[in-house]
Amino acid sequence: MTFVLKELSELRKHFDDTVDIILKRESKGKIEDLTNPNRKYELQFLTSILLKLEEQAKEKSPNLAYLSTVFYGAMLTVMQDIENNRGVMESSGLLNDRLKDAVGIGDEVKAEDKPDLYQNAKFHTALNTFLNQIFIEHDSRKGFAKDHMLTAVPTDNLSKLIQTSYKLEKDAQRAIVASFTTDGETISELVKFKAAKKSPISATNRFGGWEKLNADLDELIKEELADKNVAKIEKLKSKERICQLHFLNAIRESLKTAPIDEAEKTAILAGSMHLVRQQIKNEYASSYVSHEENSVILTGKKKKKGLNQILAVDEVNPQDVEALVTSATQYIQFMTVAPKINNKKAIRAAHIFSAITEFNPEFNLQSIFNLLIDMIHACRADALKVVVEEFKKETKAPEKPAKGYLGGLSSALGSLSFYNRSKKEDDEEEEDELEHKSNMTNG
């Protein structure tokens, strides 16, 4: 057998029974009367989401499978929240056990009947996409929608739940990457590439077009060679830098003939440059000798036209960075990862970056994907933090949390090695993608 997604009506029946059991155990009449604050806000979170899903299920031509998938993500998020708050000697509790049963991951369930890695990632991606409805026009840059679906959940508690949901999606994506084999036999057919999500104009306009961005990259490479007094990239002392520059050149060389509009080509190259910039920053962060302030490739000669300036890192918002990195991720995945065979994906044995191993045998695409995943997660968390801070300034929220919108999130992008390591959603398309879609903006 295989995992079978429950319909909303079945999920509703199970959830209502769960609430009844918990209320009877506590001798309470309604969720708001529960004395355990964690159980109260967790049930409020699930109740509010389920009500909204049922409302949308009544609309014209609803994607019922997607709506059910969202609730699976919500249940898994609450289960993780329970685990996060559990004391050392405490059991997971009744709500956790009931939710495990609803999701279909109880101890008695056979492994083949549980959700696989890809289904699990879809749960979290679907929920995070759905949660965009708390923003005006589903765009976090426009602030919170008035009277959104989750106002019943106290601010700080809702903040933690959303933070948990973001992290679960990140972990699920990393699990998929970890499952990749390296024996893919198919070749990429560039003519078939179609971006599942394109970067918005706000993310690409700053670069002045495809030709201008290429010219800026050319100048950057020349400055790096001049600073290191070498004739070509291969002569640089740093293996990492050699690989990074060849990586960017491979990206843009393949894009030259790609049947992709200029704006999205620009987004893919810019997102790849953000990736390289993050790797270089991580290198400097782990160094006791060098400092990024002295890096020509980051800051440019006399602090002009390094990656920091080209990418306008002091001006760009995290939503646009996420969009660019997402564009790069989609393209890199398409060019390097073969479609699923026997429910597994494989990195192609030969791809556009294969030649880089000549300069660094440790070049590793899985590490690249992991860094991309973490960058997207960090952008999303940072964007939410900005929105929350602005909301609190506008409303002058009291220190003690009350019923409201969202609480703050913190984000940190860990140091990783580049080489060592909207309601309707197309469910089938998402399953075949790495789930690296932007969840903070409408794009």
**pLDDT for 413:** 54
> In this structure, is the dihedral angle defined by the CA atoms of residues 161, 166, 167 and 169, taken in order, positive or negative?
positive
**pLDDT for 296:** 87
Higher pLDDT, 440 or 282: 282
Contact status, residue 212 vs residue 322, Cβ threshold 8 Å = no
**pLDDT for 428:** 44
Sheet with strand 344-348: strands edge to edge: 181-184, 344-348, 337-341
**pLDDT for 424:** 44
Instruction: List the structure tokens of 221.
Output: 């490479």
Instruction: List the structure tokens of 312.
Output: 């306008």
Instruction: List the structure tokens of 288.
Output: 């006791």
What does pLDDT average to over the chain?
87
**pLDDT for 135:** 86
The half-sphere exposure of 333 on its side-chain side, counting CA atoms within 13 A, is 26
Amino acid at 431: E
**pLDDT for 306:** 92
Instruction: List the structure tokens of 57.
Output: 């299920």
Q: What is the pLDDT of residues 159-176, one digit of tens each?
A: 889 989 999 999 999 999
Burial of 183 (0-12, 13-18, 19+ CB in 10 A): exposed
3-state secondary structure of 248: helix
Higher pLDDT, 106 or 300: 106
Q: What is the mean pLDDT of residues 295-302?
A: 81
Higher pLDDT, 395 or 147: 147
| CA 73/CA 437 separation, integer angstroms | 16
For residue 257, the 8-state DSSP code is: T
Q: What is the mean pLDDT of residues 378-388?
A: 87
Higher pLDDT, 410 or 126: 126
> In this structure, is the dihedral angle defined by the CA atoms of residues 187, 191, 192 and 193, taken in order, positive or negative?
positive
**pLDDT for 437:** 46
Q: What is the pLDDT of residues 222-247, one digit of tens each?
A: 999 999 999 999 999 999 999 999 99
**pLDDT for 406:** 28
pLDDT above 50: residue 436: no
pLDDT above 80: residue 50: yes
338 membership: H or E segment, kind and range: strand 337-341
Measured CA to CA in angstroms, residue 270 lies from 162, 205, 240, 273, 418 at distances of 28, 11, 19, 5, 17
**pLDDT for 423:** 42
Q: What is the mean pLDDT of residues 72-91?
A: 91
**pLDDT for 388:** 74
